[in-house]
Chains A and B, each alone.
Chain A
Amino acid sequence: MSKQYLTAHTVDNAHITDIYGIAATQRAVLSVSGSSDIHIHETASTDFALAQSIPKAHKVGAHHISASGDGKIVASAGFGGELKIWALAEETEEWKLSKEMKPGAGEVWAIALSENGKFLAATTSDGRINVWDISGDAPIKIKEYETAGAGAGVFGTSVDLSSNGKFTASGHQNGTVYLFDNELGRLKFCLSGLAKPIRAVAFSPGCTRLAAAGDSGIIAVYDMKHGEQTDNLIGHSAWIMSLSWNSTGEYLLSGSFDGKVKVWSIERGACVATHSETDKALWAVRWLPRTSLSKAEMFVTGGANRSLIFYREASGG
């Protein structure tokens, strides 16, 4: 049975340039773009109003933004190579700059925050993955995973941290996915099923699966125990730029370069919904975390058409 999703709201021209990254908390969606502002739209209200705009957050634009599971910390990575950590002020509910890091050219591309916002993982242009402890006053680099000899690695396009904190996964331009065991501090699996550049990796909420996708147009789903590929989701006809698991791990969301967003049932191994409100690239797609207020599940997309489009599951679905 296919699922029905409706366009709940569209924020036209949410940014003046392409939207490259979206992070979702229980209350809001934060987005970054080729312009310098971070925009925060409320998701609790029905009009998805702009709750806050952080001007000049990233001088030449930002490409990734990641929120902690508890929704209190957000990290954003700018095209200029800078990393900014933002904290939600409890009283005012406003996001404030907490830390700024400038790890150097090529040192930060894709980023992922841990569930509690304490750890931040980032890929580098030469294929390493750095993990920082950002809970103290000054960030401390606690891990540096290498995927090849010094300087010989391949550009890390994507990264994720598992919600239980045990694993780090990275996707690379040569099509390889690496899975690292954070406790042992070493490589657990090297998964090379997709051959073409990987653009997105994502752990399922229960940390039992890892999804990876990219230029091959296929989503590979791996089981975490043995590193076996358990599923091969085929249906996109363009590069897949972004992946997101829903809160239960039953559905996977994918967005592609031709503007299509798809919802996949993991149980059935099939696409259950496709939307294409635009034919321009979708750079980021995200499920919104489920809250006690929201019954229907929602997701949001952003990309080259500069709009944020919110979708809601049709009732009874």
Chain B
Amino acid sequence: MPPALLPSLAGSNLVDVPASDQARRGATICKLADLLRDVRVDLALVRFLRICKLALSALCSGTVITKRNIFYQDKDLFRSQVIVDKLVDDLACTLGVERHFLNIVAAGKGLVTGPITLFAVDDTVKDCADPNGILIPPMENISQIDFRHAKWVLVIEKEATFTTLAQFLSAVRKMMPSLPIYAIVDFDPDGISIMRMYRYGSRNLAHEDGAVEDLEWLGIRSKHILTRTAGQGGAEGGGRIAAAPRQEGNAVTTKNTRDRGRGQASQQESTSSQETFPPSSQDSVAVPQLPRRLRESGPHRLSRSQSQAEMQVEMQAPGGRIEDTLLTLTSRDRKRAVVMLNELSVGRDGDIHDPRTMECARELHVMMMLNVKAEIQAVDRMGNMTDWLDEHLVLGE
């Protein structure tokens, strides 16, 4: 980032000039960008100007552009999404506005589903009961939310920095201070980073409000994926391969629940709600099933003997072992974990003592110790997460 340019841009009242002037200025910037490109000056400057131009055309035309769009406008120039993200944040920061004032959003998708109703500023009403989810409108378009009988909010997130969602959650927190908000993210450094982003707001976007300090980190945690990772044999004294290990019981108790619960859990339907926010298309396979199935199953407890009987079957079921879904950390993951550990310890005198920070640090340590990570999919059953949610969200309360 060329520092000399920033004050002049910031002082140019870019956002205040009339649209025609903006367009003219945009064209000039564009020409300048091309020129600068020819003479091979600092790439960062060219990229920055390019983003200014794209933001300007978005503002002029009244459209919204995603950071992903920007990247694909000129992949060769931007090289990576991260570079775009950073420059967009820099631009917003420099101008002292929130990012969406530039008509730039982090990602195009973000779905919400559950018994809530959104009232838009233009008096349109959106019912979110559609089990396939509806797209979350930008927060500035929402005037009011009717939460009806919603009992909690569940955030399912696969990709980082999703400002619309962060702001939506923040608004939900303000409107309904007592509504529990849970997050489920991948068990890897990025997942923890995303969860923390929702909890504390993004560091780069400290001027935006989007923090839900009391966000509950539901998973995926090391305990969820490692309690079933048993080897073979359970005989105390040792000797030969014996019965299925006891730990197996925990994670499978709900399989039966789901089957039995289907016919009888309807009274639960009216009291459970979920908001799911899959920002990428890969999620849409798993998530749309979620609210429907969860309501179907409802909370039931299994007797110990039932779960044990089932666990024996489980051991032999092919592909049923969470151990097999564990992934190995890449060297990037490990570096990221170290960066995050350093961030967690920054500004503190010696050791971390805040329990929630310690919790994050511990998960990162365990990840590094075992050199494993797991995606949200590790705990689902063929794309269906309802069993897991039954156990950790409904039964866990």
* A interface residues (Cβ-Cβ under 8 A, vs B): 2, 16-18, 20, 34-37, 55-56, 59-61, 63, 79-81, 105-106, 125-126, 155, 157, 173, 196-197, 215-218, 233-240, 257-258, 262, 264, 270-271, 274, 283
Contact = CB atoms under 8 A, between A and B. Distances in A.
Given A36-B351, A234-B238, A235-B237, A173 B328 contact: yes
Nearest to B229: A239
A56 B344 CA distance: 15
A17 B365 contact: yes
B362 interface: yes
A56 B231 contact: no
A80 B338 contact: yes
| Residue among A36, A217, A218 facing the most chain B CB atoms (10 A cut-off) | A217
A157 B371 contact: yes
Interface of B: 226, 229-241, 245-247, 323, 328-329, 331, 334-335, 337-338, 341-342, 344-345, 350-353, 358, 361-362, 365-366, 368-369, 371
B338 A36 contact: no
A217 B232 CA distance: 6
Contacts of B329: 155
A262 to B, nearest CB: 7
Contacts of A257: 226, 229
A26 to B, nearest CB: 28
A271 B242 CA distance: 14
B233 A215 contact: no
A80 B238 contact: no
Nearest to A60: B341
Contacts of B240: 234
Given A59-B345, A63-B368, 5 more contacts: A105-B338, A215-B323, A234-B235, A237-B233, A238-B245
Nearest to B353: A16
B369 A283 contact: yes
A275 to B, nearest CB: 11
A60 B334 CA distance: 13
A17 B338 CA distance: 17
Contacts of B247: 237-238, 258
A271 B238 contact: yes
Contacts of A16: 351, 353, 358
A91 to B, nearest CB: 28
